[in-house]
Amino acid sequence: MENIISSCGGNIEDINNSKETAPSKRMIKFFDNYDETFDKVFYGYSIIEEIGLDRVIEQCPRFSQWIQKIESLVTIK
């Protein structure tokens, strides 16, 4: 994982820099090495659950801004 992050200049949000190197494509390739199938929804949820959403938000400013926009649309009754 550290190699992937360093390959994009240390900014984890820049991992998704092409169709071939998108995170899901990297995961598909990783799973193929073990003759397994990558399920983006299942594993995406599991990965976030393992890492913790707070940590993802902390490490990903653009994602954090997107979450803040969504939260600002919520009306509490």
Per-residue pLDDT tens digits for 22-60: 888 888 888 999 999 999 899 888 888 988 899 888 888
Query: Could you tell me which of 45, 60, 55 has the C-alpha nearest to residue 8?
Result: 60
Cα–Cα distances (Å) from 37 to 1, 20, 24, 27, 60, in that order, read 19, 17, 12, 9, 27
Give the total number of structural domains in the chain: 1
Domain of 10, in residue numbers: 2-73
What value does the mean pLDDT take over residues 56-65?
89
